[in-house]
């Protein structure tokens, strides 16, 4: 109630941006300045202007390889608002990337005060969705 939407950022790798733009257009949002499509590569600060501004980051079907978990979580942490920012992260467990999923959950628990799996209501049971909240700021050691 009373939520004012300021920005919806749809991101992916460059080869997939046209598909995202097409989806935006098909939903009648191509002329809405609040909807932006941009390339974001995990672990890079290409869109530093978004740093610390996002109330919600949705990472859908992003966990496939364990070595990419930390860059993904770094990127989520970069864009989330420091106080109160949340992330919804999902993966399809039927794909079978068990080690990557376990690594993601372990690293997410280290980075967030709360990592809760949402109940499998109105979705396939092998699709797992986690709510991440309470981002812990990690300070690099000198």
- Tell me the pLDDT band of 1, cut-offs 50, 70 and 90: very low
Whole-number average pLDDT of the chain: 90
For residues 93 and 101, the answer to whether their CB atoms sit within 8 Å is: yes
- In 72-137, where do the E strands start and end? 86-92, 112-117, 127-135
Predicted model pTM: 0.87
| β partners of residue 132 | 87, 115
Lowest-confidence region among 62-66, 76-80, 110-114, 136-140 = 136-140
pLDDT of 48: 84
For the segment 23-51, the average pLDDT, to the nearest whole number, is: 91
Which SS3 state, helix, strand or coil, does residue 136 take?
A: coil
């Amino acid at each position: 109630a009373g939520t004012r939407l300021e920005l919806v950022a749809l991101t992916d790798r460059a080869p997939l941006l046209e598909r995202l733009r097409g989806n935006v257009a098909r939903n009648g949002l191509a002329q809405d300045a609040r909807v932006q499509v941009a390339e974001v590569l995990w672990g890079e600060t290409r869109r530093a202007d978004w740093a610390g501004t996002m109330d919600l980051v949705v990472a859908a079907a992003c966990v496939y390889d364990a070595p990419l978990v930390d860059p993904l979580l770094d990127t989520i942490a970069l864009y989330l608002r420091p106080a109160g920012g949340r992330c919804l992260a999902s993966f399809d467990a039927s794909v079978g990337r068990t080690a990557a999923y376990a690594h993601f959950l372990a690293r997410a628990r280290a980075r967030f005060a709360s990592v809760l799996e949402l109940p499998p209501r109105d979705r396939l049971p092998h699709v797992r969705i986690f709510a991440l909240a309470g981002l812990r700021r990690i300070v690099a050691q000198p």
